[in-house]
Structure 1
Amino acid sequence: MSTKTVVPLRRRSNPLNGKHTNGVSVDGQSRRIGSVNSEMENIVKKTDNGYANGGGGGGGRSKASFLTWTARDAVYVARHHWIPCLFAVGVLFFTGVEYTLQMIPARSEPFDIGFVATRSLNRVLASSPDLNTVLAALNTVFVGMQTTYIVWTWLMEGRPRATISACFMFTCRGILGYSTQLPLPQDFLGSGVDFPVGNVSFFLFYSGHVAGSMIASLDMRRMKRFRLAMLFDILNVLQSIRLLGTRGHYTIDLAVGVGAGILFDSFAGKYEEMMSKRHNLGNGFSLISKDSLVK
């Protein structure tokens, strides 16, 4: 009877990492299937321990997540996730401030740290009406630049996202501004050429000046118009300082204006995505019907 040489079968290597898992060489060393399975079981057990009891499929064997934390984990978080750590410290700090700070009396002017920082500018503008008028006119020009760009992206470039975002933003600003009407600061320095032109009344919360500039800047960055976006950001900072100096907005109005610009730009993007899927617009979103595009 002839003897045959039996050649052990080998699995193919994993195409993702080039490693063998059936007794074949892994990084120059031999590893049996049993050792691989054992290692995988350890990983699964360690993962299960990261969940609370009854969560993650661990059942009664699972532990609360914090029970698995070590000093090494704390060092890793502090080094690689320092931004949320910094905000966590801020939470603790301002919790203490909120519990110990005396409230502003009902008949007093609101306290605004931006007003404190721009006292000197307020005095200069109050003593120089012509300078105040020039700065107001320049700021109105900047508002016109924002509006022109936002409308241009829709009418000339066929990209309505910025326009939709501005519609969302200004409508919500009107609702919030009317719902809670903040008192006009006593040191307010108005101008007939400031926006809204004519020195008329306006909503303080939140700043449409800042939010509109953010919407335009975000669109510029999407289109890789980085220099133009940088210019708008610089002008946005300058207009914020002027608005504080003239007491045309509270600091909270300006801060929320930045967030509102980002938020409603995101909402407009989600709206475009939703409508594109609903109407099967493979080439992107448009306010024009598909029949019109074919024509």
Structure 2
Amino acid sequence: MSTETGVPLRRRSNSLNGHHTNDVAFDGTVSSMESIVKKTDDGYANVVGKASFMTWTARDAIYVARVHWIPCVFAVGVLFFMGVEYTLQMIPARSEPFDVGFVATRSLNRVLANSPDLNTVLAALNTVFVAMQTTYIVWTWLMEGRPRATISACFMFTCRGILGYSTQLPLPQEFLGSGVDFPVGNVSFFLFYSGHVAGSMIASLDMRRMQRLRLAMLFDILNVLQSIRLLGTRGHYTIDLAVGVGAGILFDSLAGKYEEMMSKRHNLLGNGFSLISKDSLVN
């Protein structure tokens, strides 16, 4: 087995390494078209002979399907959604956007629309959860000297503002606002992507790094509940929530790379004020 491409497959001995070419010598003395064509054909043969797919066998295919079934499932998904994309009739320009999350939460939307007090209570609880996220993220920097989560949140909210302004999605007609919801006061807000979800992910990922697993699980559960509520109130589209999860992971990773880059580029530990403490570099 060889793992040089990242996916273990059986390789023939001459598949990638040690494969010698037999190009026809061309020193300028041969001028016939037959020699040029032969050299070209041999070159194609060498390229094809070196190609990875030339070494694949049925046994390799079975191995990949059995061991690497997750990317195989996604590969099937690529083919399936290619068919969907080429055959799906798009929503007319003057229609409301279609959102599968809105379809799944129609009953919740009706309940909240008929019970303004319940909508207010849930909005207040969600705002408390946002305050919990914010407090934790700022606490890790100010009290624990670990700025990664705070840097990540700064990256995330700035990019969210840029994207939200660049493509402004229409507020759903069934939107159920509340004066105690975040942003407080029923003010306008960017839909893409969800800062609620991304902020929760940033906090949860930091908790996992610090082995605060029960607290991280609690945040994940609350994140799911707030996502359902946001769909029910039409406060976000499904795509906003899904990208919010990815944004939290992405910007947490970028903040970690930023810390590593700055620690290598500058000796911050002994040069005046530093965002990064010794403990944060260890973790």
Using the size of structure 1 for normalisation, the TM-score is: 0.76
Shift of 1:278: 1.1
Query: Which of structures 1 and 2 has the bigger CA Rg?
Result: 1
Shift of 1:114: 0.1
Shift of 1:95: 0.1
Distance 1:227 1:51 in 2: 59
Please say if 1:293 is aligned against 2:281: yes
Partner of 1:68: 55
Distance 1:175 1:3 in 2: 41
Cα distance 1:244–1:7, how it changes in 2: closer, same or farther (>3 A)?
Answer: closer
CA distances 1:31-73 after superposition (whole Å, capped 9, x unpaired): xxx99999x99999999999995xxxxxxxx521111100100
Shift of 1:177: 0.3
Distance 2:139 2:5 in 1: 78
Q: Structure 1 residues 62-71 or 150-159, which shifts more?
A: 62-71
Cα distance 1:79–1:282, how it changes in 2: closer, same or farther (>3 A)?
Answer: farther
Q: For the Cα contact (< 8 Å) 1:137–1:193, is it kept in 2? A: yes
Shift of 1:87: 0.3
Partner of 1:6: 6
Q: Structure 1 residues 169-178 or 43-52, which shifts more?
A: 43-52
CA distances 1:89-140 after superposition (whole Å, capped 9, x unpaired): 0000000000000010000000000000000000000000000000000000
Cα distance 1:164–1:49, how it changes in 2: closer, same or farther (>3 A)?
Answer: farther
Partner of 1:56: none
Q: For the Cα contact (< 8 Å) 2:191–2:240, is it kept in 1? A: yes
Q: How many residues align?
A: 280
Cα distance 1:65–1:232, how it changes in 2: closer, same or farther (>3 A)?
Answer: same
- Among 28, 36, 55, the alignment partner of 2:30 is 36
Identity of aligned residues (%): 91
Q: For the Cα contact (< 8 Å) 1:162–1:268, is it kept in 2? A: yes
Distance 1:9 1:204 in 2: 44
Long gaps (5+) in structure 2:
none
Q: For the Cα contact (< 8 Å) 2:146–2:280, is it kept in 1? A: no
Long gaps (5+) in structure 1:
28-33, 54-61
Q: For the Cα contact (< 8 Å) 2:15–2:52, is it kept in 1? A: no
Q: 2:89 is paired with a residue of what secondary structure?
A: coil
Shift of 1:287: 1.0
Higher relative contact order (CA 8 A, sep 6+): 2
Cα distance 1:272–1:210, how it changes in 2: closer, same or farther (>3 A)?
Answer: same
Distance 1:234 1:146 in 2: 13
Shift of 1:279: 1.6
Shift of 1:258: 0.2
- Among 29, 44, 56, the alignment partner of 1:51 is 44
Distance 2:179 2:7 in 1: 94
Distance 1:238 1:109 in 2: 25
